[in-house]
Structures are given as C-alpha cells and as structure tokens.
Amino acid sequence: MIPITSHVDRSSAAFRDNAAAYAELTATLRERMTWAIGGGPGRERSIERHLDRGKVLVRDRIAMVTDHDTPFLELSTLSGFGQYDDAAPGAGIVTGIGVVHGAPYMFIANDATVKGGSLLPVSIKKHVRAQEIADQNDLGVIYLVDSGGAFLPLQDEIFPDKDHFGGSFYRQARLSARGLPQLSVVLGGCTAGGAYVPALSDEVIMVEGIGRIFLGGPPIVKAALGEVIDPDELGGALLHTHVSGVSDYLADTEAEAYGRLREICETTNQRRLDERTGWIDSIEPEPPAHPAEDIYGIISADSRIPFDATEIIARIVDGSRFAAFKPEWGTSIICGFARIWGHLVGVVANNGIIFSDAALKATHFIELCEQRRIPLLFLQNTSGYMVGRDSEAAGIAKHGAKMVAAVANATVPRYTVLIGGSYGAGNYGMCGRGFNPRFLFAWPNSRIATMAADTAETVLVDIRLAGMKGSDTTEDEVGAMRAEVRSQYEEQSDPYYATSRLWDDGLIDPIHTRDTLGLCLALAARQDEPAPGSGLVYRM
C-alpha cells in the first residue's frame, strides 16, 4: 500500500477557521457528555440518595467488573438528549463493551439515579440495540439490574410491540441458546417484567439489602390481595437465594458480587480479544503518518463546502497507507484497501454527490471485499445520488440500486461513520442504519435527513404553493412557510436529535475514530468467519 500524500496546509486561513469552528463542536460534545454522565439540574439529590444507600454509581460498577486499564466502549451516551424534558440523561441505562479476563462482554446497566432506573421507550430501544450488537459480535451479556421497571405513564410505547420490552426477553433467551452467557447482578429493584431479566439469565447474583425481585411489588400485592408486606420479605436476596432459587449466589456487598461475577466469567469459555481466528488478515499496527487533530481543520466550517475524504482516511488508517481502487474513475466515491490497528479493511468514502459511475465503482469494490472476506468501512458524506434529466437517462436509479443491493447482501462485517452529510438514498447506499451495519458512529458535524434544509425549503414550499393555485399568498406567508420548513429540517437533521433517538451508536470526537474502529474490528477478528454470499464479482 502506498502512503497518502497529504495536501493540507495547516498554516492557511481556511484551516485555522475550520479548526476554530470544530473546536466549538467538540466543546459542545464534551459539555453534553458531561451532562449525560455527571448529571444535570435536579439530579444531584438523586445521586446523593443513591450513594447514601451505600450503592455504587453505574459507571463505577462497570469499572469494578472490567479488567484494570482496559477500554470500555460506551454506546449511545447521549440517548434521550432533548427528550422527556431533558430529565433522562443516557435514557437511564448505560450500555457498552468491556473486557473481563481478556474476553469482551456487552454490559447493560440501569442507572437508578435517572427516574429510579425506570425504563422509558428510548431505554428499551437502547437495551435491545445492545443485545443486537451482542448477537452480531458473539458477546456474552452482563446485566447490572437496578430498575423500577417500566415507566407506566408511557406503557403503550414500552409494552406491546415487537421491539418493546418483550423483544428484549426474546433476544435474551435466544442469546443464551447460542451459548452466549447471560449473567445478572441484582442491585436494586426488578419489578414486573423486569423480573425476567435475572430469571432468564444463566446465573444470577443478588446483593443482600438492596437487591429485590418480584413480579408484583408491594403496591400491586396490596391492591390485588389487600396484603401489606415488606419488600425484602416479598422478594429479597435471602428469599430468592435460600428459598425460591431464582438467585444462585448471595453477596453481602457490591464489591463481593463483582468478585463473584468475575469468577463466573472465568468459567464461561468466551473467546478473548487476543484469540484471533485468522480469517481477518491482520499484521502489527502502526500509527497514521498524519495527526488525527488535522481533521478539525480539514472539515469545512460551512457544510456546503466539500472536503476530500482521502485526507480523512490518511488520518485514520495505519501508516496513512491506502491502496486505491479505480482511482481515476467514479471519483465522487473513493474506494480502496487499508489497515486499522493492523486489521485489513475495505474503505468506501464519499466525495460528495454519488454519480452513476461512482455507484458502479462502489458496487464492484463491495463485491470484491465480499469475495475476499474483507470487512467494509463506510465513511458517509454525501447529499445523495445525482438527479436531473441526464442522470435519469444514464440510469442512476438502476445503478444506485446495484450499490444498495451489494451493501444489503454483503456478509462481511460492515461499519459506518457519518463524517458529514447523510442525505436521501445516499444514506442507504453507504450502509446507513437500515442496512444493519455492526456499528454506526457519527461525528458532531454530521447531518442526517431526506435532504438538506436548503433543498427542503425550496422543494416543500414549491409543492405547497403549487397546491394553493388561485389563492392569494402574500410574501410574508411564503416567508413563514420557508422559515417553518427550514426550522424543522435543521432541528431534525441535527446530530444530537439523531443520537438521542439511537439512529447511531454514539457521537464520537473524530480523533477517537481510529481507536473506536480498532476495537470493533478486534471483536470481529475473534469470531469464526461468517458464511459467504455468492462470491461472484460482476464487472460494472
């Protein structure tokens, strides 16, 4: 592979202006991450009560379980942001991948300092997404349970549908059947449906004095039977460990529980991160030749001004080395082979609008990676497929469909990062959320929508005006229409709007992209090779 020659001028005014603008984006990201992790207004008292009960905060719990000085890849930290009156940081649940005795596990941990650990609709979505990732990456799941159960005022958005809370139990049972350990530590309430999280686990630890499991809590028992009963008598750790057998181990303290949990993890025979199966080509890694911090100055402060994706690739891949595929043709998409933390990957990156030749080039390259069993990385920055008379006559619809079909049918691991715009069908062709990439991350400058706000303002207002023929429409009314459409699209394409709703697996600082992807690729490298597709490459 040939090292990429960078043409970035760090001394230019444009670079400095871009870097200054991106510094504001990263500052906002850090501020909002602090809100999600450390609490917001009104949450201090809840944290204080939690600590007064002798309980450990949720991220400290995870740290007590995982191996010392190993990474924890937290997912969707900003889920719930801007929703529920901003009273549900992180949706009241922490999910992520941590290492225990060298093996990676998915953690699903309730945060009882957020609405008592009650489960909101987005909490369920986050829980289910974590289980999907565990399934795709062959990860055991550790549940740190401290929840008041479903948030009843929103029960219709939590209980009955396919991907509601019942779907999480379905997935838990299926994961266990696949031999992926399901381990629970009960650190608080497990009420009603929540009782099935430990009940469906392979092994359960309960902490005396704080852990409780009951299908119907004391209020329900009183309402249904007129019986007044103490919570520990009804479903405490002693009862379930000594009498019912719902729990397998009793711990006097959280620290003791996590020690026992680590002992259990030693017996699960899960593949360690360093147990590579050899199907993904891997060598000793080397750092990029160009600093990742340059990305801040490369990305244009004005989203309408394009930037060269090759310069981004040069700051993510090993040695900044890149073997470009068809570099002289279809140049609005860049394809080629590189390594990230030693792992060979095929990179598909946008340089703006996707034309027919670029769609065919990407299709050809995706099929090559599928045939050669090479994971795919998509770097999205596109306004979509080219429109207009010439493009339609040239068959942009069928050529775009070939690219979409190739992405949909690739069986190798696929990873997506939104590094800029993700608009229209370009989102689909570049392996957006609907195409089930193993992980999808976004940068704080990214935007996602059917179209950009500028375009939407023109298109939707023209459509409305066309439907008002014969009526008198003043300039003020037209201006109000434009402002309404622009406001809607700007709000809904904002990356925080997207990450709040789990349209991605988390917003990340661009300089952390390489390390994040390296961990994701390491998960795939420890798995058996997935079943291949047809393996046939059609020359496009």
Bridge partner residues of 207 (DSSP): 251
| pLDDT value, residue 227 | 84
At 41, is the pLDDT very low, low, confident or very high (cuts 50, 70, 90)? Answer: low
Instruction: Answer with the residue of higher pLDDT: 196 or 509.
Output: 509
At 57 the three-state DSSP class reads coil
Instruction: Answer with the residue of higher pLDDT: 210 or 487.
Output: 210
Q: Tell me the domains of the chain and their CATH numbers.
A: 42-266 (3.90.226.10), 292-450+494-525 (3.90.226.10), 453-492 (no CATH)
At 336, is the pLDDT very low, low, confident or very high (cuts 50, 70, 90)? Answer: very high
Q: What is the mean pLDDT of residues 121-140?
A: 97
For the record, the structure tokens of 384 come out as: 């979509």
Mean pLDDT for the chain? 93
pLDDT greater than 90 at residue 44: no
| pLDDT value, residue 163 | 79
Residues 6+ apart with CB under 8 A from 238: 208, 232, 250
Question: pLDDT digits over 354-377, tens only?
Answer: 999 999 999 999 999 999 999 999
Residues 6+ apart with CB under 8 A from 204: 183, 184, 185, 186, 198, 246, 247, 248, 249
Q: Count of CB atoms within 10 A of residue 398's CB? A: 10
At 180, is the pLDDT very low, low, confident or very high (cuts 50, 70, 90)? Answer: very high
Whole-angstrom CA distances from 178 to 44, 181, 182, 270, 449 are 41, 9, 10, 12, 37
Distance CA 227, CA 517 (A): 54
- The answer to whether 129 touches 108, Cβ cutoff 8 Å, is no
CB-facing half-sphere around the CA of 310: CA atoms within 13 A: 19
At 213 the three-state DSSP class reads strand
| pLDDT value, residue 148 | 79
Burial class (CB in 10 A: 0-12, 13-18, 19+), 154: middle
Percentage of the residues of the chain whose pLDDT score is greater than 90: 75
DSSP H helices in 373-512: 389-393, 396-409, 426-429, 453-466, 475-492, 495-500
Percentage of the residues of the chain whose pLDDT score is greater than 70: 98
At 537, is the pLDDT very low, low, confident or very high (cuts 50, 70, 90)? Answer: confident
Distance CA 200, CA 217 (A): 19
For the record, the structure tokens of 425 come out as: 């069908």
| pLDDT value, residue 485 | 85
Euclidean distance between the first and final Cα of the chain, in Å? 24
**Sequential DSSP letters for 15-27:** HHHHHHHHHHHHH
Distance CA 350, CA 333 (A): 5
pLDDT greater than 60 at residue 350: yes
At 471, is the pLDDT very low, low, confident or very high (cuts 50, 70, 90)? Answer: low
Residues listed for the chain: 540
**What single-letter amino acid sits at 400?**
G
Closest alpha carbon to 3 in 467, 269, 338:
338
Q: Count of CB atoms within 10 A of residue 331's CB? A: 14
pLDDT greater than 80 at residue 53: yes
User: Which regions of 49-186 does DSSP assign to beta strands (E)?
Assistant: 73-75, 93-100, 103-110, 140-145, 182-186
At 329, is the pLDDT very low, low, confident or very high (cuts 50, 70, 90)? Answer: very high
Distance CA 510, CA 293 (A): 8
Burial class (CB in 10 A: 0-12, 13-18, 19+), 434: exposed
Residues 6+ apart with CB under 8 A from 149: 118, 119, 189, 190, 191, 192, 193, 194, 217
- The answer to whether 78 touches 500, Cβ cutoff 8 Å, is yes
pLDDT greater than 60 at residue 470: no
Question: pLDDT digits over 74-121, tens only?
Answer: 999 999 999 999 889 999 999 999 999 999 999 999 999 998 888 899
Per 3-state DSSP, the chain is made up of helix, strand and coil in percentages (nearest 5) of 45, 20, 35
DSSP 8-state secondary structure symbol assigned to residue 507: B
For the record, the structure tokens of 60 come out as: 């400290």
| pLDDT value, residue 469 | 63
Closest alpha carbon to 24 in 233, 299, 331:
299
The maximal CA–CA distance of the chain, rounded, in angstroms, is 80
Q: What is the mean pLDDT of residues 178-187?
A: 97
| pLDDT value, residue 56 | 96
Angle at 449 between CA 307 and CA 156, to 5 degrees: 145
Closest alpha carbon to 118 in 190, 187, 46, 54:
190
Residues 6+ apart with CB under 8 A from 86: 40
Q: Name the CA radius of gyration of the chain, rounded.
A: 25
| pLDDT value, residue 294 | 98
Distance CA 115, CA 99 (A): 29
Distance CA 109, CA 75 (A): 12
- The answer to whether 517 touches 453, Cβ cutoff 8 Å, is no
Q: Is pTM, for the whole model, over 0.75?
A: yes
At 26, is the pLDDT very low, low, confident or very high (cuts 50, 70, 90)? Answer: very high
